Amino acid sequence: MLYSPALASRTLAKYTVPAAAPFAFAARSAVLGFHHSDSSRRRHHFRPQQVASRSHSTRATMTASTQLLQGILDANETYAAAFAQSDPALLKKLAQGQAPKIFWLGCSDSRVSAELATGVAPGSIFVHRNIAQCFHPGDPSASAALAYAVHVLKVEAIIVCGHTGCGGVKAGMQAAVDSKSKEDQGEKEEAPKPGSVEETIAKWIAPIKHLATPHANNASDPLSTLELGSLTDEHVKETVKAVAESDLVRAAWDEGRELSVHGWVYHVATAKLRDLDCGYKGPGVKADSLSRPSTYADSDTL
């Protein structure tokens, strides 16, 4: 079983509705093009050739992206049918509103989905994702998501989740390495053109670059998996601190609300979540430790 409620940690289970495994598996299989042993559902499964063979005239005019999107819509049909069959009560409940207990600040990376990583059903986690799960002061998008989650939905836990192989973290390290290299050669760094791709990304990852500077200055191989892993952890811890020290979270604590902020890292090679034990449950008050793998080695081993 690739996708099971058993994947949800005990702590998460306390807060969330476990996903109904049959619909979740069927839907995921459909998107990934996997075959399923249940032949009665096979006709719903998306396979690229299924779309392409609909008709000669359609196939001739469909671009690759249209075929891809058609496949996604086909997968949605499978998902909706399986969901309605396996858990109609949950569908009805979700139609009435949401009451998630968790806010997830994660990376936009296509491999790291809050729901898939935790095995919980829709309605369990309120999510905000951006490149490298940053919480920049003055970012209206992340702040609005946090404000809504904490003060309207009244979530009880906030998870900042980084991941291995993060492109944003690597870009931050690379930028720090490039700056050091220019400095060593006595060259001046040129500012990227305003509005360019380079400037847009450089602005976003500037805080990660700042965090990466000691690595770039001192590590023998700053771009090694080990150094990038270490920078990922540091960045998650800094973000947890920034969220915990935000006025939005402080206001909830001032009201006496039970709210904790945690830092996790998702290991892409194993799909395991690692708790960094760097959380807070009040101003300067450490959050309870969670019973999850806490070492990089544990989390990177299947």
User: Annotated binding site: which residue ranges?
Assistant: 107, 109, 163, 166
**Quick check: is 111 catalytic?**
yes
User: Which listed residue (12, 107, 160, 290) binds Zn ion by CB under 5 A?
Assistant: 107
Question: Least separation, in Å, of the C-beta of 10 and Zn ion?
Answer: 27
Give the residue with the Cβ less far from Zn ion, 107 or 159. 107
Q: Does 287 bind Zn ion (CB under 5 A)?
A: no
Question: Least separation, in Å, of the C-beta of 160 and Zn ion?
Answer: 12
Question: Least separation, in Å, of the C-beta of 23 and Zn ion?
Answer: 28
Q: Does 233 bind Zn ion (CB under 5 A)?
A: no
Residue 56 makes CB contacts below 8 A (sequence gap 6+) with: none
- 156 burial via Cβ count (<10 Å: 0-12, 13-18, 19+): middle
Nearest to 199 by CA among 188, 211, 191: 191
Q: To 5 degrees, how large is the angle CA 261–CA 263–CA 266?
A: 140
Tokens representing 235?
A: 């960045």
Tokens representing 10?
A: 């005990």
104 touches 124 (CB < 8 A): no
> 74, 87, 109, 233: which one is catalytic?
109
Residue type, 161: C
- Total of residues contacting Zn ion (CB under 5 A): 4
Give the residue with the Cβ less far from Zn ion, 8 or 166. 166
**Quick check: is 109 catalytic?**
yes
DSSP string, 48-74: HHHHHTS-HHHHHH--HHHHHHHHHHH
Residue 239 makes CB contacts below 8 A (sequence gap 6+) with: 105, 133, 134, 135, 160, 162, 263
32 touches 78 (CB < 8 A): no
Residues 154-183 that bind Zn ion (CB under 5 A): 166, 168
Give the residue with the Cβ less far from Zn ion, 107 or 261. 107
Give the residue with the Cβ less far from Zn ion, 81 or 131. 131
* Distance, C-alpha 282 to centroid of its chain: 24
Give the residue with the Cβ less far from Zn ion, 166 or 228. 166
Known binding positions for Zn(2+): 107, 109, 163, 166
> 36, 41, 47, 111: which one is catalytic?
111
> 107, 134, 161, 278: which one is catalytic?
107
45 touches 35 (CB < 8 A): yes
Could you tell me which residues are beta bridge partners of residue 260? 157
Question: Least separation, in Å, of the C-beta of 122 and Zn ion?
Answer: 23
Tokens representing 5?
A: 């409620």
Residues 262-281 that bind Zn ion (CB under 5 A): none
Backbone angles phi, psi at 263, to 5 degrees: -120, 125
**Quick check: is 38 catalytic?**
no
Give the residue with the Cβ less far from Zn ion, 27 or 114. 114
**Quick check: is 163 catalytic?**
yes
Q: Does 109 bind Zn ion (CB under 5 A)?
A: yes
Show which residues are catalytic.
107, 109, 111, 163, 166
Q: Which residues bind Zn ion (CB under 5 A)?
A: 107, 109, 166, 168
